[in-house]
Structure 1
Amino acid sequence: MGSEDGFYRRTHMPGRLKPLDIERQQTPGKYADGDGLYLIVTGPTSKNWSYRYWFEGKERWHGLGSFKDVSLKEARIARDAARQQVRAGVDLVAAKRSAREAQKAAATIEAAATFQQCAEAYIRERWSTWSGKHREQWPSSLKRYAYPTIGNLAIAEIKPSHIFEILAPIWIEKRETANRVRGRIETIIAKNVDVDDIEFRNPAELTKQLREKLPRRPKKAVQHHPALPYAEMPSFMLALSAAPGRAATMLRFLILTSCRTNEVVEANWSEIDRPLAAWKIPGERMKMAQDHMVPLSTPALAIIDEMRDGSQGELIFQNPDGGQFSENAMLAVLDRLGYGHVTVHGFRSTFATWAEECTDYPDGVREAALAHKYKTETTAAYQRGQKLEKRRALMSDWASYLATPGAIISTLRSA
C-alpha cells in the first residue's frame, strides 16, 4: 500500500482524473481516480477501467469496461456500486468467475443431446433384439409419461424432482406402468453418463427420499390365476385338440411346455433346436432375464413340425394376417370351448400341482421346468441345463398324462 505512488503512474493532476487526461494518456500504467477506481493503460488505444479492492486479505481487480464504452462518470458510478457489493460481502472476481462457469455449463448442456434424443437412440440400438411387446411399450410409455416433463432436458439437467413429477400421478393407479417407466428412464440416463464418474447418482433411482415423497401404495393383494384342476386336463386337451385354428394349436403348445403366454406368442424359429428337441428362450423374453431351455416332448415337437409346413417369417405361431397373435387370442379359445372361467396362465399352476401331487420329481426339477426364481443352487443347476434330461422326462410324463382321458397317472420315479 505504501509503495502505491511509486508503482502506479498518475497524470500531472494529483487526485481525480479528468476526461481530457484520459483521452490523451498513452503511457502504459495504472492511473488512480480515487476510492479504488483505476484507468489501466496498456497501449495508445487500449484503456480499461478497473476497481481495486481487498477481499479476505487478498488484492482483487474487478474490470468495469473499456474507456471507449464507459465514460469517466459511468466508471465512477460502477465503482460505487461495486464498493457496495464488496461491503456486503461479495467477492466480485469470484462471482464473475462463477457466472462465466455457469454460462459455459449452460452452453454445454444446450449443445448436449436431450433425454428424448438419447431415448430414441437407445430404442434404435435395441430394436432388433426386442420382442414386439417391447417395441410397442418402450416408445409409447416414454412419449406419454416421460417426454412431456424431461424430453427436452439434457441428461445433466434431470433431477429427482422431475422423476417425482412424472411418477406421482400414476404411482398408485398404474402401479406396473409407473415401475416400468421409472426403470426405463433410469436405464437411458445410465446409458448416457460417464462410466468413470463415481460422483454421479442417477436421479431416476428409487431412493428412500423418492419413495418417501411418492404416495404410499396399499399392499398389493395376491391374485391367483384361476386354474383348471389337473384331473380335468385330459378331457380338456381332447376338446382343445379338436378346436380349429392356430390359436388353439398355440394353446396346446403352451400347455405342453408350461411356458408363459408372451414366451409362446413371441416364439420364433431361430430358438428351436430340432436335433436336441429343445426350445431355447432368450433371457430378454424371460421374467428372470436368463436364457431358459425347454425340453420338447413328442407332442410338442409334432406341433413344431406342423407349424413349420408352409411357415413364412420368424414367428412360429402367426395369426391369419401373418403377424403376431394378441396375448388374448388363447383366452378367446378358452371362451369358445366353454372354459372362460380359467386363465391361460392358470395352466402353469395346474402343471405345478400335478407335478407335486402325482410325481416324485425333486423340487428343483419342477421349479426349473417353470423357470421360477432359483431358490437353491440345485434348482439353478437344473435350470442351467446340467440335468436337462430329468426335466425332459418330467415334460414327457406330463404329455402322457394329458393324452390319457379318464385316467389318473401317477409318475413316481427315482430322481
Structure 2
Amino acid sequence: MPKPVKGLTARQVQTITAPGYHCDGAGLYLQVTARGGKSWVFRYQAGGRRRDMGLGSASTVPLAEARAKASEARALMGRGLDPLAQRHEPIISPPITPTFREAAGLFIEAKRAGWRNAKHAAQWVATLEAYAFPVAGQKPIDQVTTDDVLAILNPIWTTKPETASRVRGRVEAVLDYAKARGWCDGENPARWKGHLALTLPAKVKVRAVEGHASMPYRDLPGWWPRLQVADGLGARALELAILTAGRPGEVLGATWDEIDLENRTWEIPGTRMKAGAPHRVPLSGPALDLLRKLATVRRGSVVFPGAREGRPLSNMAMAMVLRRMGLGDEVTPHGFRSTFRTWAAECTPFSHEVCEAALAHTVGSKVVAAYQRGDLFEKRRALMGEWAGFVMGGRHDG
C-alpha cells in the first residue's frame, strides 16, 4: 500500500529553495523554478492525458487558499468536468463550498496579519487540529450542525473548560467567516447565547478557574537566596520576572532599547503586551542592580539571549530553573504574579487599581479607563520598591 504523502507546511512553502515540484497531496504541488520563483500547480488526468493547472503565485496565494482552490478543482472533476476547460466557459459554475478545515485555513490566513504574533495563529491551528477537525474537518462548511459542535465540545467541556471555551469561540468565528463569504447561511450552530448556553453548563459553573501554581508569599523571602545563587540566564530572567511582577514572555522578550537605566524604567511596547497597550514598568533598586550586572556581559540587543543569535531564551527557560530546584510540580514562573498580587492585597495599603496596574491588568469599564488617563506610575514605583524589599527579606530599600 503506498505511503500517504505528508502535506507541506506554511513554513516549508516559505523556505523551500530546491527547484522542482514539491507535493502537498491530492494533486497539489508547489513548483519552484531555478530562479527561485514559486507557484501552485494542480496536476490531474483528463481524457487520458496529464494536465497541469496553475493556481497562482505562492507569494500571493497562501497554502490554505491553494488547498481550497485544488479542492474546488477536484469537485469539478467529481461532476465530470475538466477544471481547465471550465476556466474558459462563459457560464459561471456554481461556487464550490469548502470543507470546515479549508474554511478555517482561509480564515486564519485572512486574520494572520492582524494577530500579535505567529504563536497566536499556531494556537488556533493546534486547537482546531486537536478537537474540531477530527469531527467536522471534512464536512462541507454549510453542513456543520449543532450536533457536530456538541460532538467537538462535549468530551472536553467539563475536563478542560478553558480549552473548550476557546475551541467553541474559534469554531464560531470560522462559521461566521463562512457566512460572510456566502458559503452558508442561517444561525451559527456554535453561538453561545440563546443556543449552546441552553445545552451546556456555563464555564464558570463547571469548576473554578485554576490559576497558575504559585508560591505562598511568606515562603518567598526564604527561598530567594537559593534563586540568586542558581546558575544561568534562566535564573536571572526569573529574578527579574519576580521583581517586576512581569509575565514570563514579556521578560524573556525584553530588549536593551526598552530599558532606561538612568530613569529606572522599562518600557514594553504594545506589540509585546497581552492587552496590546504599551506598559511602563518602574525598576526597583534590586531590579536595577540585576540589569546593570547583565549589561556588563551584554551580547546583542536581547537582554536574555538564547543559543540562536538575536533570539531570546526559550519560553521553558524559567520553568527549567524551578524544575532543577525541585519546584517544577508546585510552582510556575507565571505563578509569581499571583504571589505578588496576594502579598499586595494582604500586606500593603495600596489600592486595587494600583496593584492591578502593576500587573498590566485593565481595570474597570471603558468609561472608567477614559477618565483615568494616567498609569499610576509613581504609586506603582513605591509599590514595587516595597515588593523588592519584601522579596529581599528587608535587605534592600528598593
**TM-score over 0.5 (shorter chain):** yes
Correspondences of 1:307-322 after superposition (within 5 Å): 309-311=298-300, 316-320=303-307
Q: For residue 171 of structure 1, what is the aligned residue in structure 2?
A: 157
Q: For residue 267 of structure 2, what is the aligned residue in structure 1?
A: 279
1:144 maps to 2:127: no
Q: For residue 332 of structure 1, what is the aligned residue in structure 2?
A: 320
Q: For residue 371 of structure 1, what is the aligned residue in structure 2?
A: 360
Q: For residue 253 of structure 1, what is the aligned residue in structure 2?
A: 240
Residues 259 and 267, structure 2, Cα contact 8 Å, conserved in 1 = yes
Q: Per the alignment, in what secondary structure is the counterpart of residue 202 of structure 1?
A: coil
Give how far 1:171 is off: 2.2
Q: Per the alignment, in what secondary structure is the counterpart of residue 278 of structure 1?
A: strand
Read off the aligned partner of 1:367 and give its amino acid letter: E
Give how far 1:167 is off: 1.6
Larger radius of gyration: 1
Residues 331 and 344, structure 1, Cα contact 8 Å, conserved in 2 = yes
Distance 1:194 1:404 in 2: 59
1:58-83: CA deviation from partner (whole Å, max 9, x where unpaired) = xxxxxxxxxxxxxxxxxxxxxxxxxx
Residues 247 and 333, structure 1, Cα contact 8 Å, conserved in 2 = yes
Give how far 1:164 is off: 1.9
Evaluate the alpha carbon distance shift between residue 378 and residue 309 of structure 1 in structure 2; reply closer, same or farther with a 3 A threshold: farther
Give how far 1:177 is off: 2.3
Distance 2:201 2:343 in 1: 42
1:121 aligns with one of 106, 117, 136: 106
Evaluate the alpha carbon distance shift between residue 147 and residue 295 of structure 1 in structure 2; reply closer, same or farther with a 3 A threshold: same
Q: For residue 158 of structure 1, what is the aligned residue in structure 2?
A: 144
Q: For residue 348 of structure 2, what is the aligned residue in structure 1?
A: 359
Residues 168 and 215, structure 1, Cα contact 8 Å, conserved in 2 = no
Q: For residue 224 of structure 2, what is the aligned residue in structure 1?
A: 237
Give how far 1:377 is off: 7.7
Evaluate the alpha carbon distance shift between residue 348 and residue 207 of structure 1 in structure 2; reply closer, same or farther with a 3 A threshold: same
Read off the aligned partner of 2:206 and give its amino acid letter: K
Between the two proteins, the alignment pairs up a number of residues equal to 296
Q: For residue 219 of structure 1, what is the aligned residue in structure 2?
A: 206
Q: For residue 390 of structure 1, what is the aligned residue in structure 2?
A: 379
1:251-270: CA deviation from partner (whole Å, max 9, x where unpaired) = 112101212344445x3539
Evaluate the alpha carbon distance shift between residue 205 and residue 376 of structure 1 in structure 2; reply closer, same or farther with a 3 A threshold: closer
Q: For residue 51 of structure 1, what is the aligned residue in structure 2?
A: none
Read off the aligned partner of 2:351 and give its amino acid letter: P
TM-score (structure 2 length as normaliser)? 0.59
Deviates more, 1:204-213 or 1:221-230: 221-230
Distance 1:388 1:158 in 2: 50
1:202-245: CA deviation from partner (whole Å, max 9, x where unpaired) = 33211443233347877304646554444443443332122111
Read off the aligned partner of 2:104 and give its amino acid letter: A
Q: Per the alignment, in what secondary structure is the counterpart of residue 247 of structure 1?
A: helix
1:399 maps to 2:365: no
Give how far 1:186 is off: 1.7
Residues 293 and 383, structure 1, Cα contact 8 Å, conserved in 2 = no
1:321-353: CA deviation from partner (whole Å, max 9, x where unpaired) = 566656554233224335454443332233223
Residues 100 and 137, structure 2, Cα contact 8 Å, conserved in 1 = yes
Give how far 1:300 is off: 3.6
Which runs of 5 or more structure 2 residues have no equivalent in the other structure? 1-92
Q: For residue 34 of structure 2, what is the aligned residue in structure 1?
A: none
1:307-333: CA deviation from partner (whole Å, max 9, x where unpaired) = 792136xx6545445666565542332
1:144-175: CA deviation from partner (whole Å, max 9, x where unpaired) = 32223433445444333322222223222332
Q: Per the alignment, in what secondary structure is the counterpart of residue 279 of structure 2?
A: strand
Residues 131 and 285, structure 1, Cα contact 8 Å, conserved in 2 = no
1:184 maps to 2:170: yes
Correspondences of 1:3-82 after superposition (within 5 Å): none
Q: Per the alignment, in what secondary structure is the counterpart of residue 344 of structure 1?
A: coil
Evaluate the alpha carbon distance shift between residue 153 and residue 379 of structure 1 in structure 2; reply closer, same or farther with a 3 A threshold: same
Read off the aligned partner of 2:125 and give its amino acid letter: P
Read off the aligned partner of 2:159 and give its amino acid letter: E
Evaluate the alpha carbon distance shift between residue 192 and residue 389 of structure 1 in structure 2; reply closer, same or farther with a 3 A threshold: farther
Evaluate the alpha carbon distance shift between residue 264 and residue 188 of structure 1 in structure 2; reply closer, same or farther with a 3 A threshold: farther
Identical amino acids, percent of aligned pairs: 35
Root-mean-square deviation (CA, aligned residues, Å) is 4.1
Q: For residue 49 of structure 2, what is the aligned residue in structure 1?
A: none
Read off the aligned partner of 1:390 and give its amino acid letter: K
Give how far 1:405 is off: 5.0
Residues 158 and 206, structure 2, Cα contact 8 Å, conserved in 1 = no
Q: For residue 209 of structure 1, what is the aligned residue in structure 2?
A: 195
Q: Per the alignment, in what secondary structure is the counterpart of residue 252 of structure 1?
A: helix
Residues 234 and 406, structure 1, Cα contact 8 Å, conserved in 2 = no
